[in-house]
């Protein structure tokens, strides 16, 4: 009910009760003492009774209004846990008490891994219900003295006064993480979740609420970066890691602005026909002081910081420029694959960005292929689909990278305009020895054949792997056995040698 309607209802109720009181209280008094000398005294008592009753009603109304206002300012509106401001305030009070009593205290910051899948696959209401369930798990698992809060989104906080590390803390975290793993969204029962946690200890890691929260947050970031679904205890090394990461981010921003990144090309082959079917374009960063920085270090950093879109734009424009300038595109290279991130589709101008990047192509756009990982697709399935549908109309092809490692591969194939799947190298690595991997690869190949999809096996490094894949029906390969990623100059030489071999054979 709106404030105006609530106020009107209270005023109407007050008028109604006043009318009833005035109409019937006088009759009642006259009935008791119509001719009595006590009439004046009874009228006084009646007035006092009226004041007492109305004061009691005003107390109830004011108390409820102030209580509601306090809850709004102190509590999270969805879960009714403390909000961040009140958590910090209450935590400072607990720290003052712990200092006087020489007690320990533990702060835990907890985050749900994969929570964005609910909002993208189902709806916001389902996400809210999930967060309420997480809050209920925390209430049930923690003792009454614990401070529980939701900081916003899917981030929660727990403060445990007088708690011994690790005896009293680790079992609690593990219990909460196990119970969150068993939560399911009824609209999407195949979605699985885990939770990561960061931990800080008083007085070892800090003596104020802000210090302990920051320390636990750093530990949480490390847990999510290294092993999702785990927990990490803050230590001095983490602070150094975070500092190094922050500096690396500054260097990466400068590298993007100054165009210090480069591109390399890894050929893909159809071995049976002995032809190169295309190249995958990869980005490289040679740091002026630290040397070559692995993509596994700076690509996640770029995705977290929002730099990945600028990197994608650079890679696409640079590769198209190089391959076109040397007349390799369309003639020697019939397909160019670019890795794209979920963040590349989050902006309203995402479609315009891709079109601008590809506008310099001298020919048909079917030579371009966008590689999207399944896990990235799940983060923004609807937005990605809208952009890919437009690009498909212009001829751009779409490949699902790391196929089989995500949550719902078949559903992703059904919803997105896919022409190719890439068998993840984790399945190829032990395909000769691991029967389970071998069965999975054969299943992928059979499914792709039924759906008329092209299949590329990546990470092929041995002849045994290649022979097994060929016997299983895979036609295209990518890996160190055939060619490593190489700069443009080496690619030109590689293509020339490949042509000479074909002529000689």
User: Do 28 and 134 belong together in one domain?
Assistant: no
- Give the residue from 74, 105, 136 where a domain finishes: 74
- pLDDT tens-digit readout, 144-161: 889 999 998 899 999 999
Cα–Cα dist 259/317, whole Å: 12
Distance between alpha carbon 415 and the CA centroid of its chain, in Å?
21
CATH number of the CATH domain containing 446: 3.20.20.450
Residues 341 and 315 sit within 8 Å (Cβ to Cβ)? no
Beta strands 397-403; 420-423: pairing state = parallel
Tokens standing for 33? 């003492």
Tokens standing for 346? 């989050």
Q: How many domains would you assign to the chain?
A: 3
CA-based angle 224:229:230, to the nearest 5? 80
User: Do 280 and 183 belong together in one domain?
Assistant: no
Instruction: Note the pLDDT of residue 377.
Output: 75
Residue 395 in any domain: the answer is yes
- pLDDT tens-digit readout, 349-381: 889 999 999 999 999 999 999 999 877 777 777
User: Do 341 and 304 belong together in one domain?
Assistant: yes
Cα–Cα dist 1/17, whole Å: 22
Instruction: Choose among 117, 155, 119, 113: nearest CA to 138.
Output: 155
CB atoms within 10 A of CB 361: 18
3-state secondary structure of 36: coil
User: Do 478 and 398 belong together in one domain?
Assistant: yes
3-state secondary structure of 107: strand
DSSP code at position 449: H
Cα–Cα dist 375/378, whole Å: 5
- In angstroms, what CA-CA distances link 72 with 1, 65, 148, 260, 342? 16, 11, 16, 50, 35
Residue 19 in any domain: the answer is yes
Residue 79 in any domain: the answer is no
Residue 323 in any domain: the answer is yes
Instruction: Note the pLDDT of residue 240.
Output: 76
The residue to which tokens 């800090």 are assigned: 206
Residue 248 in any domain: the answer is no
Asked if omega into 304 is within 30° of 0 (cis), the reply is: no
User: Do 310 and 421 belong together in one domain?
Assistant: yes
User: Do 204 and 300 belong together in one domain?
Assistant: no
User: Do 366 and 454 belong together in one domain?
Assistant: yes
Tokens standing for 490? 């080496």
Residues of the chain with confidence (pLDDT) below 70: 1-7, 9, 21-47, 50, 61-73, 119-120, 404-409, 505
Residue 397: what are its φ and ψ, rounded to 5°? -95, 160
CA-based angle 48:50:51, to the nearest 5? 65
User: Do 39 and 125 belong together in one domain?
Assistant: no
3-state secondary structure of 9: helix
Cα–Cα dist 284/73, whole Å: 49
- Give the residue from 243, 275, 301 where a domain finishes: 243
Residue 182 in any domain: the answer is yes
- Give the residue from 33, 52, 74 where a domain finishes: 74
pTM for the structure as a whole: 0.65
DSSP code at position 15: H
Residues sharing a CB contact under 8 Å with residue 441, sequence separation 6 or more, in sequence order: 423, 427, 428, 431, 457, 469, 472, 474
Number of alpha carbons in the 13 Å side-chain half-sphere of residue 292 = 7
For every residue of 112-136, DSSP letters joined together read EETTHHHHHHS-HHHHHHHHHHHHH
Strand partners, 477: 269, 457
Cα–Cα dist 278/330, whole Å: 10
User: Do 386 and 281 belong together in one domain?
Assistant: yes
User: Do 411 and 338 belong together in one domain?
Assistant: yes
User: Do 419 and 375 belong together in one domain?
Assistant: yes
Residue 113 in any domain: the answer is yes
User: Do 155 and 277 belong together in one domain?
Assistant: no
| Residue ranges making up the domain that contains 398 | 255-504
B/e letters for 256-279, b = 16+ CB within 10 Å, e = fewer, are: beeeebbbbbbbbbebeeeebbbb
Instruction: Choose among 474, 477, 446, 475: nearest CA to 459.
Output: 477
Give the DSSP H/E element, type plus range, for residue 40.
helix 39-74
CA-based angle 312:316:322, to the nearest 5? 140
Residue 249 in any domain: the answer is no
């Amino acid at each position: 009910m709106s404030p105006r309607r609530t106020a009107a209802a209270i005023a109407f109720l007050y008028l109604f009760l006043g009318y009833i009181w005035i109409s019937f209280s006088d009759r009642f008094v006259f009935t008791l003492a119509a001719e009595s000398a006590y009439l004046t005294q009874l009228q006084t008592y009646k007035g006092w009774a009226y004041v007492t009753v109305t004061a009691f009603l005003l107390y109830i109304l004011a108390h409820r209004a102030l209580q509601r206002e306090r809850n709004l300012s102190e509590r999270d509106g969805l879960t009714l846990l403390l909000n961040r401001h009140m958590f910090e305030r209450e935590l400072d009070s607990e720290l003052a008490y712990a200092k006087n009593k020489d007690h320990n205290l533990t702060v835990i910051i907890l985050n749900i891994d994969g929570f964005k899948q609910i909002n993208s696959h189902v709806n916001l209401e389902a996400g809210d219900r999930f967060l309420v369930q997480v809050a209920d798990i925390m209430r049930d698992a923690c003792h009454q003295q614990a401070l529980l809060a939701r900081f916003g989104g899917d981030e929660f906080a727990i403060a445990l006064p007088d708690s011994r590390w690790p005896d009293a803390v680790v079992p609690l975290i593990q219990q909460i993480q196990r119970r969150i793993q068993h939560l399911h969204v009824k609209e999407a029962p195949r979605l699985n979740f885990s939770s990561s946690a960061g931990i800080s200890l008083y007085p070892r890691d800090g003596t104020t609420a802000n210090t302990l929260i920051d320390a636990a947050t750093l530990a949480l970031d490390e847990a999510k970066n290294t092993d999702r679904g785990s927990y990490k205890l803050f230590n001095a090394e983490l602070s150094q890691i975070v500092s190094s990461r922050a500096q690396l981010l500054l260097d990466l921003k400068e590298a993007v602005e100054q165009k210090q990144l480069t591109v390399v090309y890894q050929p893909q082959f159809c071995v049976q026909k002995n032809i190169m079917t295309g190249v995958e374009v990869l980005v490289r960063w040679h740091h002026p002081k630290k040397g070559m920085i692995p993509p596994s270090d700076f690509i996640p950093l770029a995705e977290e910081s929002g730099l990945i879109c600028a990197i994608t734009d650079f890679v696409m424009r640079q590769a198209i420029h190089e391959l076109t300038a040397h007349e390799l595109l369309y003639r020697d290279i019939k397909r160019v694959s670019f890795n794209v991130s979920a963040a590349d589709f989050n902006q309203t101008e995402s479609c315009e960005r891709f079109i601008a990047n590809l506008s310099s192509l001298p020919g048909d756009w079917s030579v371009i292929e966008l590689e999207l990982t399944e896990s990235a697709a799940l983060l923004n399935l609807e937005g990605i689909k809208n952009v890919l549908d437009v690009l498909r109309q212009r001829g751009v092809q779409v490949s699902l990278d790391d196929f089989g490692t995500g949550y719902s591969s078949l559903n992703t194939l059904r919803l997105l305009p896919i022409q190719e799947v890439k068998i993840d190298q984790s399945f190829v690595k032990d395909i000769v020895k691991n029967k389970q991997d071998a069965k999975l690869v054969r299943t992928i190949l059979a499914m792709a054949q039924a759906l008329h999809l092209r299949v590329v096996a990546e990470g092929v490094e041995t002849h045994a792997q290649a022979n097994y894949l060929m016997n299983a029906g895979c036609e295209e390969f990518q890996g160190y056995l055939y060619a490593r990623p190489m700069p443009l100059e080496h690619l030109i030489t590689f293509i020339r040698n490949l042509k000479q071999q074909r002529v000689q054979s």
